[in-house]
Chain A
Amino acid sequence: MKPLRSFLIAALLAAAGVALAATADAGPTVGDCQECHGDKTIEKSLPGGKTQSLFVDEKEFRQSVHGKGTCTSCHADAKVPHGKLAAAACGRCHADAQKSYSQSTHGIVHAKGVKDVPGCEDCHGKHAIRKAQDPKARTFRLNIVEVCLKCHEDRVIEEKYGLPDQKVMAAYRESVHGRAQKKSGLLGAAVCPDCHGNHMILPGDQPRSATHRQNIPTLCGKCHSGILEEYDRSVHGKGMRAGIAESPVCTDCHGEHSITKITDPQSKVYVKNIPKTCTACHGNEAIATRYALPKKRFSTYMDSFHGVALEYGMTTVANCASCHGFHGILPAADPASSVNKANLPKTCGKCHPNAGANFAKGDVHVEVTPQKALGVFTVRVFYTIFIGTLVILFVLHIAMDLLGRRRRGEPKTRGTKE
């Protein structure tokens, strides 16, 4: 029995040893940490007389996405008691996120040791991190905007890093997207990371950025896919895909952060503002010349009854988009274009049911030159000369009449015979 007993003792000791070794390796349990960090008053003093709470709410931690782990999963160097710990290395598990982040504008600046650019915890939180799908998560769709705006509405930070103006960011709140998520709680409404990305945020002027011009249509098309399809067939879409930088993308007409409904008078595509929006490019001499666009579209429109009426607030009259379309604009030469000669009766007929093929004869944008509109030009010149001559003749006649009256005698003594 002796060998057996000694074996049992040895086994027991070994087990105890393993257990001991295991406890020693695992370090403190959550319970051990909570001995100190469960105290709400525990804090450390920072330079400048400030203090930082070191309290960790265990309940919150247990409910977090990491709640099944231990403190040492992230704080590998934690012992009881301990001094200053190394930063939590999220990248050890989240390698992809870490990699994207390090290439982002936040990550690049952060790597230089700048502390007021967001790291993982600034967006995700610390001990209470939840999945983005959890309505309580900081990164939940309906919460993330406020997280971003915490810095991006901070004037000090904006000035320090030359970020877009406060108003630009705040405009999002009043935009159709901002209102949809904030006021209506719609999960489909675009929030910051939908356009800018999350870990891999880059400024819009960098080609790799999600918000770079060339990527905008695809970006907006993630949600507005039917419109993207239409846009891609349009002259603007084809131009943009061909790399023509001046070809308009979604944001050129709709704006960016400030996108509002087309019924909002502030919108760049509100009926009254459409002519100005289109003219930004079509009235630009350089663009019009380079791409051989027809000229004087704005002035000829504004001189037409449609233009005048629109200017004075009649919103039912035709604006650019009424005839040319909007997302699917095609050049007039294209047989599918709404302003192709063959389709004009139908296009005009939307408002003027009697406008037939006969009506469509003649230019819609009437440029009063002998080449473009001889009739109108002639009538205008004729009347101008006629009226001018008439005025001169009137004046001459009056002068002669007065001259003659002196010969006829004093005008006051009426009735004297010649």
Chain B
Amino acid sequence: MSEESRSPVYVERMSVLFRMQHMLLILSLLVLAVTGFALMYHENRLAQALIRLEGGVMYRGIIHRVAAVFLMAQLVYHAFYMLFSREGKRELKEVWLTRRDFDDFLQAMRFNLGMSNEYPRFGKYGYKEKFQYWGTTTGVFLLSVTGVILWAETFSMRFLPKFVLDLTLIIHGYQGLLLFIILLFWHLYIVHLHPSVFPMNRAWLTGKVNAEWLRAEHPAEYEKLKGEGAI
């Protein structure tokens, strides 16, 4: 037993397919953010330098669209995978928002403020992970829809008045900013700066996490895996 507790046990948290999707998401979102914000804040000197770096406003647009096609392809692939594959269906069930997440959130707040002695016992995904997942997914979806409308402007103009296109443009920009803020503040905190994982949760590279970490942060998942005999 002592031997076992000293050498850490690892359990899988992200399968290869999810890690690949995650990598591609990082890549396309980064490119989209750099090219997108350069245009949104075009009066800024840094943005102007970026646009020049990207080969002028025309090539910036081409790069942005190529990355966007990539991202949208991922969104479609991801939706199909989550809805129809065995692993996806299981994950979707895990990440699906329930009433319990809201209760967990309130319970966590109560605990953090010293109003309760019990910290919620999270499953594979707690409210933090779920907020991250659904925030990003809806964000990407909204960005894709508005982006396509703006991209196909000759087509859109047939049906949409100019003020709708103006709205679309502004929603696209601010939705991008919102997504960027969520990723910067929320994602950075939960997988990098959170004391239990600092400097980084390596699951996105190795796919595995320490079983002890899982027991502390996601006890319900730990017990489920233990019950299945995975640990």
B-contacting residues of A (Cβ < 8 Å)? 305, 308-309, 311-314, 348, 352-356, 358-364, 366, 373, 375-376, 379-380, 383-384, 386-387, 390-391, 394-395, 398, 400-405, 407-408, 411, 414-416, 418
> Do B162 and A407 touch across chains, with their CB atoms under 8 A apart?
no
B79 adjacent to chain A (CB < 8 Å) = no
Please measure, in the bound complex, the distance between the C-alpha atom of A364 and the C-alpha atom of B171, giving whole angstroms.
18
Please measure, in the bound complex, the distance between the C-alpha atom of A386 and the C-alpha atom of B182, giving whole angstroms.
12
Interface of B is mostly: helix
B205 adjacent to chain A (CB < 8 Å) = no
> Do A379 and B167 touch across chains, with their CB atoms under 8 A apart?
yes
Which of A359, A401, A408 contacts B160, CB < 8 Å? A359
> Do B42 and A311 touch across chains, with their CB atoms under 8 A apart?
yes
A-contacting residues of B (Cβ < 8 Å)? 39, 42, 51, 56-58, 108-109, 111-114, 117-119, 153-155, 157-164, 166-167, 169-171, 174-175, 177-178, 181-182, 185-186, 189, 193-196, 210, 212-213, 215-216
10 residue pairs, one from A and one from B, having the closest CB atoms: A362-B163, A404-B112, A312-B57, A383-B174, A361-B161, A411-B195, A400-B112, A354-B158, A362-B162, A394-B185
> Do A380 and B174 touch across chains, with their CB atoms under 8 A apart?
yes
Please measure, in the bound complex, the distance between the C-alpha atom of A311 and the C-alpha atom of B44, giving whole angstroms.
13
> Do A387 and B213 touch across chains, with their CB atoms under 8 A apart?
no
Which of B157, B167, B213, B215 contacts A355, CB < 8 Å? B157
Which of B42, B161, B170 contacts A360, CB < 8 Å? B161
A and B contact pairs by CB, cutoff 8 A, 7 listed: A354-B158, A356-B157, A359-B160, A360-B161, A366-B166, A387-B174, A404-B119
Distance to closest chain B CB from A373 (angstroms): 7
> Do A376 and B39 touch across chains, with their CB atoms under 8 A apart?
no
Please measure, in the bound complex, the distance between the C-alpha atom of A315 and the C-alpha atom of B7, giving whole angstroms.
66
> Do B157 and A376 touch across chains, with their CB atoms under 8 A apart?
no
> Do A404 and B111 touch across chains, with their CB atoms under 8 A apart?
yes
Residues of the B chain whose Cβ atoms lie less than 8 Å from the Cβ of A398: 189, 193
> Do B170 and A359 touch across chains, with their CB atoms under 8 A apart?
no
Please measure, in the bound complex, the distance between the C-alpha atom of A385 and the C-alpha atom of B184, giving whole angstroms.
18
Please measure, in the bound complex, the distance between the C-alpha atom of A361 and the C-alpha atom of B170, giving whole angstroms.
17
Distance to closest chain A CB from B37 (angstroms): 13
> Do A402 and B57 touch across chains, with their CB atoms under 8 A apart?
no
Which of A363, A376, A405 contacts B195, CB < 8 Å? A405
Which of B108, B155, B162, B189 contacts A404, CB < 8 Å? B108
Please measure, in the bound complex, the distance between the C-alpha atom of A403 and the C-alpha atom of B111, giving whole angstroms.
10
Please measure, in the bound complex, the distance between the C-alpha atom of A395 and the C-alpha atom of B185, giving whole angstroms.
8
Q: Assuming A312-B57, A314-B58, A400-B112, is B215 touching A383 (CB within 8 A)?
A: no
Q: How many A-B contacts if CB must be within 8 Å?
A: 130
Which of A308, A359, A416 is the most central at the interface, judged by chain B CB atoms within 10 Å of its CB? A359
Residues of the B chain whose Cβ atoms lie less than 8 Å from the Cβ of A313: 56-58
Please measure, in the bound complex, the distance between the C-alpha atom of A404 and the C-alpha atom of B213, giving whole angstroms.
17
> Do B189 and A400 touch across chains, with their CB atoms under 8 A apart?
no
Residue in chain A with minimal CB distance to B189: A398
Which of B108, B161, B196 contacts A358, CB < 8 Å? B161
Which of B113, B158, B170 is the most central at the interface, judged by chain A CB atoms within 10 Å of its CB? B170
Distance to closest chain A CB from B187 (angstroms): 11
Please measure, in the bound complex, the distance between the C-alpha atom of A353 and the C-alpha atom of B56, giving whole angstroms.
26
> Do A416 and B216 touch across chains, with their CB atoms under 8 A apart?
yes
Residue in chain A with minimal CB distance to B112: A404
Please measure, in the bound complex, the distance between the C-alpha atom of A375 and the C-alpha atom of B118, giving whole angstroms.
46
Please measure, in the bound complex, the distance between the C-alpha atom of A152 and the C-alpha atom of B153, giving whole angstroms.
55
> Do A414 and B167 touch across chains, with their CB atoms under 8 A apart?
no
Residues of the B chain whose Cβ atoms lie less than 8 Å from the Cβ of A415: 212-213, 215-216
Which of A376, A383, A407 contacts B111, CB < 8 Å? A407
> Do A394 and B57 touch across chains, with their CB atoms under 8 A apart?
no
Please measure, in the bound complex, the distance between the C-alpha atom of A383 and the C-alpha atom of B118, giving whole angstroms.
36
Given contacts A391-B181, A418-B117, 7 further A-B contacts (CB under 8 A): A355-B158, A359-B158, A361-B161, A364-B162, A387-B178, A401-B108, A411-B196
Residues of the A chain whose Cβ atoms lie less than 8 Å from the Cβ of B113: 400, 403-404
Please measure, in the bound complex, the distance between the C-alpha atom of A293 and the C-alpha atom of B13, giving whole angstroms.
64
Distance to closest chain B CB from A396 (angstroms): 10
> Do B154 and A402 touch across chains, with their CB atoms under 8 A apart?
no
Which of B51, B177, B194 contacts A387, CB < 8 Å? B177
Please measure, in the bound complex, the distance between the C-alpha atom of A391 and the C-alpha atom of B180, giving whole angstroms.
11
Please measure, in the bound complex, the distance between the C-alpha atom of A72 and the C-alpha atom of B172, giving whole angstroms.
89
Residues of the A chain whose Cβ atoms lie less than 8 Å from the Cβ of B164: 362
Q: Assuming A376-B170, A411-B195, is B181 touching A387 (CB within 8 A)?
A: yes
> Do B174 and A379 touch across chains, with their CB atoms under 8 A apart?
yes
Which of B108, B158, B210 is the most central at the interface, judged by chain A CB atoms within 10 Å of its CB? B158
Residues of the B chain whose Cβ atoms lie less than 8 Å from the Cβ of A305: 169
Residue in chain B with minimal CB distance to A349: B157
Please measure, in the bound complex, the distance between the C-alpha atom of A106 and the C-alpha atom of B203, giving whole angstroms.
89
Which of A311, A356, A376 contacts B166, CB < 8 Å? A376
